[in-house]
Amino acid sequence: MMRICGGCSSSSPPGSALRRILLQSRRAVAEFGLPVIVLLPKVATVGLVATTRFLRGQGQGMTGATAASGDKASDRKLTFILGGARSGKSTHAETLTTALPSPWAYIATAQAYDDEMRERIALHRSRRSEGWVTIDAPLDMVGAIAALPDHQPVLIDCLTLWLTNQMLAEHDVEAECRRLMDVLSQPRGPWFVVSNEVGLGIVPDNALARRFRDAAGRLNQQVAAIADSVLMMVAGLPLKVK
């Protein structure tokens, strides 16, 4: 959440202050995708109305009044967070999700096949405070998403583990991806989806790994195409792609 104060001195024209506030708000929305609370203690009421309309037009910002009312129509958005291993994608996705009112749904796709994976799962769980509702969905992620109430913030982590599970179970990967896309294309609240970018390294030396790399790349493209916002994590920093 970003807070922008619009206080102005008696010598500062309200119109000038309003233009400055609008510019700051636009930058916050465009660069970071952050909800914005605008404080206008000394600007006329007409300025507050104009600022509210401007932020709504951006599709992301919310004034305090809008946030209080929930603005249910504007919260149906899909944010796609990509990155390599240890790029900070899960942590950033959790930060974005917890900036919204709880409870937050965490749809986990990992399966504890060995001690290393158990440690990774435990690390992720240790970061989640009260307010999180964890749903394990290594295979039926579509069913888990469909069962969630409208307007609830949802974090899906991650698509590539879900894809791995589908391939190891010898399911029809293309059919399962189509089912997933049907659900993700109609978000019923603020949904955040995490996935790995696996196509930047060397060509895998076996057929299964190459098939996984190609399937993950295609799935990432499909999700990015329908997402309202796409972020690429690099060394813990989010780069806005869309």
Exposure string over 15-29, b if 16+ CB within 10 A, otherwise e: eebbeebbebbbebb
Contact between residue 66 and residue 35 where contact means Cβ atoms under 8 Å apart? no
The per-residue DSSP string of 38-82 comes to EE-TTS-HHHHHHHHHHHHHHTS---HHHHHH--GGGG-EEEEEE
Measure the CA angle with vertex 154, ends 140 and 24; round to 5°. Answer: 150
Please report how the helices 159-168 and 207-226 are oriented relative to each other, as an axis angle in degrees rounded to 10.
Answer: 140
**Which among 92, 124, 151, 171 is annotated as catalytic?**
124
Q: Which two tokens stand for residue 23?
A: 């510019």
Active site includes 92?
A: no
* Residues 7, 4: Cα–Cα separation, whole Å: 9
Strand 190-196 versus strand 77-83 pairing type = parallel
Which residues have a catalytic role annotated?
124
